[in-house]
Homo-oligomer: A and B are copies of this chain.
């Protein structure tokens, strides 16, 4: 066994680390507060309203590659990934805070484009930038975004609401963002990209936070648990299992994938199911639904958004067990979701 006094954070991984430190901060929390462990913290607000708070730290070389992403796309995405957390609780985003550690040689034209991308999304969603902190960085660009939002207490969907028998569903295609990332990392000459490839790259750089979908689903009592897909369903489902004390069975043939991703998987020899299940940053919503009401919910979702709500599996009583089935046979996936402390070379 590893010498405990020399244990390093890389040995625990991101989620091991969170499990290690969070009990000290969650055990004495007043009951009306939700702290560490969901997409947002939930704080009593005016009357029946609750304040939602989420924050994401983005580092050049870990979460993005400054030399590959357009500054406007980075500005957009820095805000979008936080809005997605508000969407996951069914809330409305209101106010944002942006902190950045910026290398001194950064050109103002780059920063101008960054802000234009941010504002493209913030003005559309009416999210006001109210503050932050700026400083120089000796090394990489570092961005921290905080978004505050609000939601009706009774409508908030938590990760802890899943019950055995619930259907697991997603609101969009899976794996597009991971496909886009793979193309970015393998391709240096952009003009040779096909339109399908450009589509996947756009899905990686410009995820749409599903705020309308989140608010619609928050109003449906048959939706029992919800979160956004940021680390890939393989990782994100584990968060639901931990919070709800359940297991999950996923039918791989039901994972919704885009024709573009299917095409690129064939072209480049990627394993389609692994990309769809373990690829991160799709930023659509993952939810569990009372099975009795799934078909009427799916019909209403289709009428409202013109897209299918896709059932991809079932919640089980088999606590902590995530299994994948393909044509009713158990299969193992090689690749699991993101861990920001692991050393695989994901930007």
Give the secondary structure class of A's interface.
Answer: mixed
Interface size on A, residues (CB 8 A): 72
Chain B minimum-CB-distance residue to A61: B138
Chain B minimum-CB-distance residue to A40: B131
A183 in the interface, Cβ–Cβ < 8 Å? no
What CA separation (Å) do A147 and B138 show in the bound complex? 26
B53 and A14 contacting across the interface, CB-CB below 8 Å: no
Smallest Cβ distance from A230 to chain B, in angstroms?
A: 11
A136 and B340 contacting across the interface, CB-CB below 8 Å: yes
A99 in the interface, Cβ–Cβ < 8 Å? yes
A10 in the interface, Cβ–Cβ < 8 Å? yes
Q: Which of A7, A132, A137 has the most chain B CB within a 10 Å cutoff?
A: A132
**Chain B residues closer than 8 Å to A20, beta-carbon distance:** 108
From B45, B132, B140, contact of A138 by CB (8 A)? B140
Smallest Cβ distance from A140 to chain B, in angstroms?
A: 6
B100 and A135 contacting across the interface, CB-CB below 8 Å: no
Chain B minimum-CB-distance residue to A136: B341
**Chain B residues closer than 8 Å to A14, beta-carbon distance:** 134-136
- Stretch touching chain B among A28-36, A310-318, A327-335: A28-36
From B7, B99, B104, contact of A341 by CB (8 A)? B104
Chain B minimum-CB-distance residue to A116: B24
From B107, B108, B109, B119, contact of A24 by CB (8 A)? B119
29 sampled A-B residue pairs with Cβ under 8 A: A7-B107, A7-B108, A9-B107, A9-B111, A10-B104, A10-B105, A14-B134, A21-B111, A25-B128, A34-B130, A35-B128, A36-B131, A43-B130, A53-B97, A53-B131, A55-B146, A56-B133, A57-B101, A59-B101, A62-B137, A97-B146, A101-B142, A133-B144, A134-B340, A138-B140, A139-B139, A139-B140, A142-B142, A146-B146
Contact of A8 with B55 at beta-carbon distance under 8 Å, contacts A134-B340, A146-B146 already known: no
- Considering only residues 1-50 of chain A, those with a C-beta below 8 Å from chain B are 5-12, 14, 17-18, 20-21, 24-25, 29-30, 33-36, 40-41, 43, 45-46
